Amino acid sequence: MAKDLPKRSEVRVEDTWKIEDIYANLEAWEKDVEKIVSLGDKIATYNGKLNNAKTLLEVLKLNEEIDYTASRAYSYAARVSDVDTGNAEGQALVMKIRSVFVGISEKSSFVVPEILTLSEKDIEGFMKEEKDLEVYKRMLGEIFRTKAHTLTPEMEKLLASASEVSGAPGNIFSLFNNADLTFPEITDENGEKVRLTHGRYVPFLESSNRQVREDAFKALYSTYAGFKNTLAATYSANVKSHLFKAKARKYGSCLEAATDANNVPKEVYTNLIEAVHNNLPLMHRYVDLRKKILGLDELHMYDLYVPLVKEADAKFSFEEAKKIVYEALAPLGEDYRAVIKEGFENRWIDVYENEGKRSGAYSAGVPGAHPFVLLNHSGTLDSMFTLAHEMGHAMHSYHSYKYQPYVDSEYVIFVAEVASTCNEVLLVKHLLSKTTDKTQRAYLINHFLESFRGTVYRQTMFAEFELKTHEMVERGEALTPDALSKVYYDLNKQYFGDNMVVDKDIEMEWARIPHFYYNFYVYQYATGFSAAVALATKILNEGESAVKNYIKFLSGGCSKSPIDLLRIAGVDMATPAPVNDGLKLFKELLDEMEELVK
């Protein structure tokens, strides 16, 4: 009999997040949704009146209240939906709040264009007249920074009303991937029939039984291949929506529009790809090492996740994982760890996979509440690193909300992966410091090498796929299933080198990556990882002074540009140095690994 996942109703309460920390009940949520609609009606009455300091302050305060309340309401709906995506009630909550967002966006769409009818000198005068406007200084500066890409009030209203349509491809993919898609059963290493799921896929690829790995790999991608036309159309619509918005806002490309939204030069993106291309020989060397250690005549794509040092292949219960992560974060100080402990003990985390639960993992900051962390913990070393990673995100949200006014509390996605990966680096350094055993060290170093492969190399390959496919649409080319698969397959050949058998099945991997719907998000995993390596090294080498600067970074929200925030912590991402330094560490670890397994 196949081992199926538990239903949501069968999961222990202790292993679920405490959703009532946002709203005590659905009635409280409904009340806030009504409030948002009412506030939207109120802000609409200011249309055409932003010509004095008092009115501007009233509108900005009102806009902030709307955003704060809407953020809480959406967070609640998304958390309810994500733990059981097949539940109609959760879907209904998400659809309702999204529709409210569209209405609010339309009613408030006049605000930015009207502010831009004023001069920066006018704004300076208003701030002298109304001191409370000072809190909005950074936000107003950003409005004027992007003035060339802001449209007339009528056009802004039109774009706002189109937002629900432009977000549809991502919503469709999410529902298809998490709620509708069913994978076949495969035979596990114990000879039992087990249903393949998103959460079980990587553990199957880590199996010592190669047939299990191959069966899981082929079953997954053959399932996606069966829907290749639908998924290509969905992804194509997503890219076209990005192009529509980029053109509407007078950007030269989709990439330029996406990076400028976070005040990041587009060259950071292209420089990353170039730096990784220059270091592809290191990846090819790692592929060769993996092939040698596994003793295989051919290394296939389904051989990439199996631990290279089987004797050290360990399992960690969730309680054990929490204890080890807590110990590893000691260099960040007791204040930091006290918040980690609070999260562990007060149900910030939804721990295990259940039927219909969203795949993967994430952390979501919620204004007026604590962060919420979604996991699908499976007891592997990777699951423990995921816990450390997501709690890094949570700590970033916690500090930003605590130390910044709400208007400056949302950190931009360029810095989003720094805190999470810094935790991972500290965890692997902690584990390595605890052992001189060659087998244990090899096992841990391999895990960190895999982090580099999965985060710097793999995410850069993803970023290059996004760039190539967006450029294809910009040239008027069609994103057919065959075209997408060819781009993806060729990139795998380039990144893994001649000693890897790039199985044809992998050409469908583009169809299962949710981040491809996030509009040039993934490159920030690679840049964030590089920054995190530099920061963790500083924290371990310099101690308290480095920790102090790091906490300032975590507490910065979006009060400065992301490049400037990282400079506070001592890392300059405007240069290629952090990426190159990170890859130097990859080389050092590769050197040690080669010595350990001689």
For the chain, what is the mean pLDDT? 93
Q: What percent of the chain has pLDDT over 90?
A: 80
Q: Are 293 and 597 in contact (CB under 8 A)?
A: yes
Q: Are 125 and 116 in contact (CB under 8 A)?
A: no
Q: Give the DSSP per-residue string, 130-187.
A: -GGGGGGHHHHHHHHHTGGG---HHHHHHHHHTHHHHTHHHHHHHHIIIII--PPEEE
Residue 122 and residue 115: Cα distance in Å, rounded? Answer: 10
Active site residue 142: no
Is residue 304 very low, low, confident or very high in pLDDT (cuts 50, 70, 90)?
very high
Average pLDDT over residues 560-568: 93
User: Does residue 1 carry a pLDDT above 50?
Assistant: no
Average pLDDT over residues 9-23: 96
Say what the pLDDT of residue 514 is.
Answer: 94
Average pLDDT over residues 153-182: 89
Interval 48-104: pLDDT, tens: 999 999 999 999 999 999 999 999 999 999 999 999 988 899 999 999 999 999 899
Interval 186-245: pLDDT, tens: 999 999 999 999 989 999 999 999 999 999 999 999 999 999 999 999 999 999 999 999
User: Does residue 468 carry a pLDDT above 50?
Assistant: yes
What are the Cα distances from residue 53, in Å, to 57, 59, 127, 129, 218? 6, 10, 7, 7, 63
Amino acid in position 135 = V
Provide the CB-side half-sphere exposure for 528 (13 A, CA). Answer: 26
Say what the pLDDT of residue 160 is.
Answer: 83
Amino acid in position 335 = D
DSSP state of 49: -
User: Does residue 312 carry a pLDDT above 80?
Assistant: no
| 214 Cβ contact list (under 8 Å, min separation 6) | 300, 302
DSSP state of 3: B
Q: Highest-confidence range of 381-385, 488-492, 515-519, 563-567, by mean pLDDT?
A: 488-492
pTM for the model: 0.79
SS3 state at 45: coil
Average pLDDT over residues 543-566: 95
Q: Is 88 exposed, middle or buried (0-12, 13-18, 19+ CB in 10 A)?
A: exposed
The one catalytic residue in 106, 206, 390, 507 is 390
Residue 469 and residue 239: Cα distance in Å, rounded? Answer: 8
What are the Cα distances from residue 381, in Å, to 194, 296, 386? 22, 24, 9
Residue 317 and residue 325: Cα distance in Å, rounded? Answer: 12
Is residue 40 very low, low, confident or very high in pLDDT (cuts 50, 70, 90)?
very high
Token pair of 501 as six digits: 């058998």
Say what the pLDDT of residue 184 is.
Answer: 96
Say what the pLDDT of residue 3 is.
Answer: 62
Q: What are phi and psi of 207, to 5 degrees?
A: -65, 145
Q: Between 3.40.630.30, 1.20.140.70, 3.30.460.80, 2.60.40.10, what CATH number should domain 8-166 receive?
A: 1.20.140.70
Residue given tokens 């090819």 in the structure block: 284
- b/e per residue, 464-473, with b = 16+ CB within 10 A? bbbbebbebb
Residue given tokens 């389904």 in the structure block: 302
Token pair of 261 as six digits: 């939204």
Residue 222 and residue 23: Cα distance in Å, rounded? Answer: 42
Residue 219 and residue 211: Cα distance in Å, rounded? Answer: 12
Q: Are 296 and 290 in contact (CB under 8 A)?
A: no
Q: DSSP alpha helices (H): ranges in 475-557?
A: 481-496, 523-542, 544-554
Say what the pLDDT of residue 311 is.
Answer: 61
Interval 337-358: pLDDT, tens: 999 999 999 999 999 999 999 9
501 dihedral zone (left: phi>0; alpha: psi -120 to 50; beta):
beta
Does 321 or 380 have the greater pLDDT score?
A: 321
207 dihedral zone (left: phi>0; alpha: psi -120 to 50; beta):
beta
Token pair of 243 as six digits: 């192009």
Does 111 or 582 have the greater pLDDT score?
A: 111
Say what the pLDDT of residue 262 is.
Answer: 85
Say what the pLDDT of residue 582 is.
Answer: 85
SS3 state at 373: strand
A 10 A CB-CB count for 45 gives 11
User: Does residue 309 carry a pLDDT above 90?
Assistant: no
Distance between alpha carbon 101 and the CA centroid of its chain, in Å?
22
User: Does residue 534 carry a pLDDT above 80?
Assistant: yes
Residue 450 and residue 206: Cα distance in Å, rounded? Answer: 12
